[in-house]
Amino acid sequence: MGWIRAIAVDLDGTIATNDVVSEGVLRAIRDARRRHVRVLLVTGRTVAALDEHFPGLIGRFDAVVAENGCVLMGLGRHRLLVEPVNRGLADGLQQRGIHLDRGEVLLSTSADDDAAVLEAITARGLDCVMLRNRGELMILPAGVSKGSGLEAALELFGISAHNTMAVGDAENDHAMFEVAELAIAPANALQPVKEHADVVLTAPDGLGVAALLEGPITTGEQRPRWARRQVRIGTLPDGSPALIPASNATILVVGASGRGKSYLAGVVAEQLIDRGYRLLVVDPEGEQSCLGELPYVEVIMATTRSDAYRTVQGLRHSHSVVLDLSELTTATRLELLQELAGPLTDLRNEIGLPQWLLVDEAHGLFDANGVLRALFDPTAGGHCLVTFHPERLCPQVLSRADVVLSVSPPVDQLIGVEDLPAFGLPRAVCGQALMLHADRAGAAQSFRVAPRITTHQRHQRKYARTMLPAGKGFRFRSSIAQQLPEARSVEQFHDQLRDIDPDSLGWHLVRGDISRWVAEVVQDRELAEQIAGLERGLVHKYQAQVFAARDELSRAIDARYLRSGDPAPRSAASADSAAAAS
């Protein structure tokens, strides 16, 4: 089942030649609809012209957008999407001898009359748009286009523009291309339209479109490389943006533990969400819950396997979903994911959602027997898999990878499988992006990861309980008789804080022991900086108190001995010595 859930096609010059739509095109449209792909006709023609020149054609489509985005027919409804063009303008043009075709909303005439039309619109002070379509000139209300009409048609079926392909040949198809995720031009299209398209077909009009509807692009088996749909994840050494595909790609985020994989994956997620893609983030350790700070992102803190239903409903109702599994036992976590796999596959088959599946700790879920293994369908949408054991991923995932994002060490040290070539890369400063092509070859580039939009949190629960090697824990210096044992995890350190006496805690804080341990052993730089601030504040306060005490002590001595009005008393021996001297 392909990721394309809707196909919008133009009429004249695209599926029709000389007012004829071939049987081959009609058969391809029928077959696509049988595969549950919505096929939409988006044309500049009026409904009356369609009925006159193409009797029965309207019924061949799931919906029809007529008059260049002004009229919508679908699901038994026929409605105007905008108010008609001023009737006085039409009357005035006809009185000047200009032939007009009147639709329910728009007016059309020959492109040769553009100067006269512009003069009439200006004279009346109207807010209208003049749009060329080969030799024809259409007069439309401002703000309406094939793009806006396509959006209204997609809304009927709950399908995202990110799961839509548009096919057109002329100037008025540019707006449709801007809305659809994938833009296709037949071989006979105007040159500017070809330059705007993601794919240019080798055959013209209906021949090319029929082959397209039945071919590997529509089924998702062939993934075009297009430059329009990319997101920025960082900066290359020359200052240019580091870009990755935003649509229907397989991305691996790999690297050693604690090196920033989840941070980088969060950057990818933020950029995709910002571009309007809908994501399901499977978050075993609760690290990506901060994505809930973004609009239209729902965080589900899973407590039982029944939260699988809530997850699918959240995706269906215009949300990206972060599924936080950190409170579940391993057994319950696997049960929930097993419960989720079937409905999620059905949702993708139905309307193409979510467009992206981002899974942390993917090596345990997408290995040969992983509970989410069946969800990996590169024809169904995007996959971003985060792992420090890429060699455990099933061969199908590795062989279909489009991009490998690596935090150091380099890509060739982390992926030792035959499906991916070795490159002998230099160690990356912040990360490496490896773009793989159809021949499984590519070139890696180092890049500096973009800052997060949301407040990133590490695997707080996982790392709080992770046991450190003996000798790497924190041992409090205590004045109590019973010495505390070595704290070999963050959780144990936290528990011992309640029992440590104030003098010992202050001694460690003044020395900077705690921030140094958190930074060098726990490797949490953000928390270490926060603790270091507390330590510096304590040192400054302590120094200020010492200096204040020094000044007070000096004043007391000065007042008592050095600045008194009466001579200070002297000993008898001193008095006798003074008398002898005189």
Per residue in 321-378, pLDDT tens? 999 998 888 889 999 999 999 999 999 999 999 999 999 989 889 987 888 888 888 8
Topology of domain 230-449, CATH: Rossmann fold (3.40.50)
Report pLDDT for 472: 87
Q: Which residue has the higher pLDDT, 470 or 307?
A: 307
The single-letter code of the amino acid at 287 is: E
Q: What is the mean pLDDT of residues 16-31?
A: 94
> Rounded distance, CA 221 to CA 390, Å?
24
pLDDT at 211 exceeding the cut of 60: yes
Domains 6-82+143-219 and 230-449 share a fold: yes
Q: What is the mean pLDDT of residues 511-520?
A: 88
> pLDDT-derived band of residue 582, with 50, 70 and 90 as boundaries?
very low
The single-letter DSSP state of residue 231 is: E
pLDDT digits (tens, 9 = 90+) for 105-133: 988 888 888 788 888 888 888 888 888 87
Report pLDDT for 568: 47
Rg of the chain in Å (alpha carbons) = 35
Sign of CA dihedral 525, 530, 533, 534: negative
Q: Name the average pLDDT for the chain.
A: 84
Tell me the residue ranges of DSSP E strands in 175-291. Answer: 182-185, 199-200, 230-235, 241-245, 250-254, 279-283
pLDDT at 69 exceeding the cut of 70: yes
Q: Which residue has the higher pLDDT, 152 or 390?
A: 152
Q: What is the mean pLDDT of residues 511-523?
A: 87
The single-letter code of the amino acid at 164 is: T
> pLDDT-derived band of residue 564, with 50, 70 and 90 as boundaries?
low
Give the CATH superfamily of 6-82+143-219: HAD superfamily/HAD-like (3.40.50.1000)
pLDDT digits (tens, 9 = 90+) for 496-514: 887 788 888 888 988 999 9
pLDDT digits (tens, 9 = 90+) for 317-326: 878 999 999 8
* Diameter over CA atoms, the chain: 141
Q: What is the mean pLDDT of residues 145-171?
A: 95
Report pLDDT for 194: 94
Long-range interactions of 467-476: CB distance < 8 A, separation 24+ = 468/521, 472/521, 473/521, 474/513, 474/514, 474/517, 474/521, 476/500, 476/504, 476/505, 476/508
pLDDT digits (tens, 9 = 90+) for 224-240: 766 788 999 988 888 88
Residue spans per domain, the chain: 6-82+143-219, 230-449, 468-563
Q: Which of 57-61, 265-269, 277-281, 466-470 has the lowest mean pLDDT?
A: 466-470
Share of the chain above pLDDT 90, in %: 41
**Whole-model pTM?**
0.74
> pLDDT-derived band of residue 480, with 50, 70 and 90 as boundaries?
low
Q: Angle 23-34/205-213 helices, nearest 10 degrees? A: 20
Report pLDDT for 571: 43
pLDDT at 572 exceeding the cut of 50: no
